[in-house]
Amino acid sequence: MDRIKLGSWNVNGLRACMKKGFMDFFRAEKFDILGLQEIKMLREQADFTFDGYKEYWYSAEKRGYSGTAVFAKNTPISVVYGIGVDHHDHEGRVVSLEYNKFYYINTYTPNAKRELTRLDDRMDWEDSFRSYVTDLALKKPVIICGDLNVAHKEIDLANPKSNVKSAGFTPQEREKFGLLLEAGFIDTFRYKYPTTENAYTWWSYMGNCRAKNIGWRIDYFLVSEALRGNISEARIYPETGGSDHCPVGLVLEM
C-alpha cells in the first residue's frame, strides 16, 4: 500500500515566506505533492529551486497578485491550468495534476472582499469550480486542496456571531461550500476531528490574533467519497509561521 503525503499552504507571497523559514518547513515535511496559493510572483522572479520536485506555476496576469504553484515528486500524467472558464482564468487560481489513481487540484478561491463587493463573482466562481471538479470526479477520485476562503460552520472560526456578514462566512458562501460537499466530497479535517474546536488556519495580522488564536479555518483538503477509506491523517500546522495562513496536510493510504 502506498502512503501519499500531501500539503497545501497559502504563503501570502512566496518570496516573503522564503525569508521566514519556508524551506525549513518544506525540507522537514518531505511532501509528495505540495500546493501553494497566493504566490504573488512569476517563476522567473525566483532565485530558489526545489530539488527533486517537478514545478508547476500558474501566476496571475496582474503582477504581484494571487497565483498558485504545485511541487510534485512524481511527474503527473497531465497538468491543467485554470478551470476552462475564461473570465475566471486570469488570476492563476487553479492547477490540476492528474495521476493514475486521482486528480490533485490546488485552488485559491476568490475572496468576496470587504463590503462583499466581489460576492456575485464569487458565487459564479463556486458554481463553475464545482462543475469542473465534479466532471473530473466522474473519471477518477479527486483531491482538492487550498485556501477556499470560507469557514463552513460556526466551529470553524473564533467569532461566528459577529462575522455573519463578513467575507468568508456569509450564508451564501457557506451554502456553496455545502453544495460542494453534497456533490460528493469530504472535508478531511472534520472527518477526522468532527468536534475539535479552536483549530484554525488563518489569523488576521491585526490585534495579535494569532497569539490569541482568534482565527478562521479556511484552508482545506477535500477528497472524493471514493477516498473516504484511504484517509489516514488530516493535519493543521498552526506552529508554522511565515504567512497569515498556516499549512494543512493530508496523508492517504492508497
Among this protein's residues, is 32 annotated catalytic? Answer: no
Q: Which residues pair with 144 in a beta bridge?
A: 105, 222
In our burial notation (b when 16+ CB lie closer than 10 A, e otherwise), range 63-92 reads: eeebbbbbbbeeebeeebbbbeeeebbebb
Active-site residue (options: 58, 103, 108, 220): 108
Among this protein's residues, is 108 annotated catalytic? Answer: yes
Asked if 98 and 133 touch (Cβ cutoff 8 Å), the reply is no
Active-site residue (options: 58, 103, 104, 147): 147
Catalytic residues: 108, 147
